[in-house]
Structure 1
Amino acid sequence: MPRQPGPTDHRPTPPRPPSTAHRLDEALNGLSDTFRGMTAHPDEYNCPCHWGSAEELARLKTADVELDADLLRRTWEATDWTYRGSVLRRILPQLAAALVSGSAGTDLEGVGRAFAMSGWRAWPAEQTAAVEEFLHAWWTHTLTTPAPTVPAHQLLVLTAEATGTMAPWLTAWEATPTPEATRHLAEAIDHWDHDLLADRLPWSTWEDEEEWYAELTTWLVRHAPARLRAHGAPEDLLHRVRLLGLTGPARWEDPHMPDHRY
């Protein structure tokens, strides 16, 4: 005789984890809440001839006033602020929203350096946590989105420069074996291989370039082939990854070495 359902057979369905888009929205809201009311330091100054007017500087010293796109860009691009942390905290919610929407421009390594120069890791714990969550939420969303506004290979530059390390971002990429993340990996190799096969990092960095080059190529050689092959990547792409594991004549004389001008 069939068993009659008991009271425990109708347990509520566990809630689904939030989507990566929801997490990113929450992270942006977290930045707005955490940095609301922030201003540039009262004694901050920048040259009117090279940066902007006294009126524009006054806007940075006024909390929660939206900046126009040009002023926002000039503010994060400037490297000669005396109180860099205060300046970045002032513009951070608006800058983060512009970055995610793609309206902040393409100099993502410059943005990453602006984060690094601000000393954000030494800020109060709540502020540091809000920045960390934003970067990780944006990275996770990018890896799992078919056509992100900012490509993964560009965002890696920003996150690595902002945090001074590639390790957590490469680890997260490896731990996201979805078709979208794998497609982003293939696209990254297409953009990077010319530089990597010439033994140089594909972007300028203030970190140890040789160390980062070795870390990135080692990760690609170890992780990428099986993943790309499982998703039907073309042989040409697999050969380019294989060549990263070779050095000297073994690489240069390999019949699959691309015919680039290095």
Structure 2
Amino acid sequence: MTTAQQRLHHALDALDRTARPGPAVGGCEHCYTAGQLAALAGPPALVPNSLLHSVAAKSPDHWTDFPTLYRRLAPRILRQLTTGTLAVDGPLVADRLVAAGWPDWHRAELVREVLDAWWPAALADPGADAAEVLGTLAVATGTVTPWLRTWAETPTPTANRHLADTLDRWLTYGELPDLRLGFHRDLPVGPEVAAWISGLPPHRIGEDRRYWLELALRD
């Protein structure tokens, strides 16, 4: 386990210690049975994965008190999200975290530490989808700036491979210079990302990609 992965697991463990049973959960009775709503009010660790994944994705209008429910389940949702076992797209979870007002939660700093620790761990993980993780973090925090800064400061072979793969994706699908992140593509970051890429050392981008990047930015 790398140092970055250790930091992430320590952050997840600290967030786990905040998990508690909660008040009765009111929700859409067309989507959830009385037994499922009762389970959601119990110990978060005992909520079945299928139910957890459903709650992680459902829109806030399915619940009487969405922020409280999402806050209680966030330790498990974030653990599964950051370890690749959550059957829900990361940017959608980011939307839900924002809708639940996570920066105003009690012990929100523990959520922030998980997010901060996840990015270096993803950049060190050859199997991570760096583009999706970046979109998730940017939407959850409302900014792409610190995540790009960390990427620039991580010139490791694995981080550079992630960079190459992400650039290939953005250039292939013509997403630059109008790049928008998020599940609904509602966070415009194109100019900032294009400026960031242009400021990276040429060897981190590659001549072919730099050519296609300059062509994309010229159009």
Q: TM-score, normalised by structure 2?
A: 0.88
| Separation in structure 2 between the aligned mates of residue 137 and residue 86 of structure 1, nearest angstrom | 24
CA deviation vs aligned residue, 1:124-146 (integer Å, no higher than 9, x gap): 2xx2110011011111111123x
- The structural deviation recorded for 1:62 is 1.1
Residue in structure 2 matching 1:176, options 140, 143, 154: 154
Equivalent in the alignment of 1:107: 89
Unmatched tracts of structure 1, length 5 or more: 1-17, 252-262
1:196 is aligned, of 175, 178, 182, to: 175
Q: Does 1:214 align with 2:191?
A: yes
Aligned residue pair count? 215
Deviation at 1:63, TM superposition (A): 2.5
- Show the counterpart of 2:109: 129
Which has the higher Rg, Structure 1 or Structure 2? 1
Aligned residue runs from structure 1 range 243-262, under 5 A = 243-246=215-218, 251=219
Aligned pairs (5 A) from 1:54-69: 54-69=34-49
The amino acid of 2:93's aligned partner reads V
Cα gap change, 1:191/1:38 in structure 2, threshold over 3 Å: closer, same or farther?
Answer: farther
Runs of 4+ in 1 over 6 A off after TM superposition: none
2: distance between equivalents of 1:196 and 1:110?
Answer: 19
Percent of pairs with identical residues: 29
Q: Partner residue of 1:166?
A: 144
Does the CA contact (< 8 Å) of 1:112 and 1:159 recur in 2?
Answer: yes
CA distance in 1, matches of 2:13, 2:29: 33
Cα shift at 1:20: 1.0
1:65 deviates by 3.9
Q: Distance in 2 between matches of 1:164 and 1:191?
A: 22
- TM-score in terms of structure 1 length: 0.74
CA distance in 1, matches of 2:181, 2:98: 19
Q: Which residues of 2 match residues 2-151 of structure 1 at below 5 A? A: 19-33=3-17, 35-39=18-22, 41-42=23-24, 44-49=25-30, 51-79=31-59, 80=61, 81-105=63-87, 107-124=89-106, 127-145=107-125, 147-148=126-127, 150-151=128-129
Unaligned runs of 5+ in 2: none
Shift of 1:68: 1.9
Pick the structure with more helix per residue: 2
Distance verdict in 2 for CA 1:175–1:72, change over 3 Å: same
Q: Distance in 2 between matches of 1:91 and 1:20?
A: 24
Contact in 1 for aligned 2:177/2:216 (Cα 8 Å): no
Q: Paired residue for 2:133, among 155, 158, 176?
A: 155
Amino acid at match of 1:216: V
Contact 1:27 1:133 in 2 (8 A): yes
Deviations 1:147-197 (A, max 9, x none): 13x311110111111111111111111111111111111111111122324
SS at match of 1:245: helix
